Amino acid sequence: MQIDIDLQSELSFLSGAGVPVEQGKISEGNAYPAVYYSRRPSNQELYLSGKPCLSDTNFTIEVYGEDIDAVETLADKLRTALHGFKGWMGSTFVKGSFCEDSEEDYQSKVEMNTDEGINVSMFNLQILH
């Protein structure tokens, strides 16, 4: 869908040069911090005539990396920019977007036999368009 492409462009712009932004996969060897997002269940409302009315598209956005300060700084920047956003996001007109915090984790690399881990800051994004 076009909203997926427009969101990726917006996340890339907000994250800045050199920060990887990927949908549905996490590539090995990415620079940190990096941004991963995935689409969650969405809803397309229709008028009684069957014409599309309002789309409600939901995403989970994760910022991950080894440096907790860099992860939290970037996640806060994205939350601030996206929460309450209205207007054009690429070729999609956004009527409203809302962020809701999710769990935040430290994921150990025990299986890799190292003592370092990956910090993850997650939030859910609802876009009405």
- For 82-102, how does the pLDDT look when each residue is reduced to its tens digit (9 = 90+)? 999 999 999 999 999 999 987
Instruction: At 109, list the tokens.
Output: 């690399």
Query: Would you say residue 103 has pLDDT above 70?
Result: no
Q: What pLDDT was estimated at residue 50?
A: 84
What is the pTM assigned to this prediction?
A: 0.83
Judge contact between 53 and 129, C-beta under 8 A.
no
Q: How far apart are CA 126 and CA 129, in angstroms?
A: 10
Q: How far apart are CA 104 and CA 37, in angstroms?
A: 15
Q: How far apart are CA 41 and CA 51, in angstroms?
A: 20
Strand-pair partners of 37: 23, 61
Arithmetic mean of pLDDT, 59-70? 91
Q: β-strands 87-89, 117-128: how paired?
A: unpaired
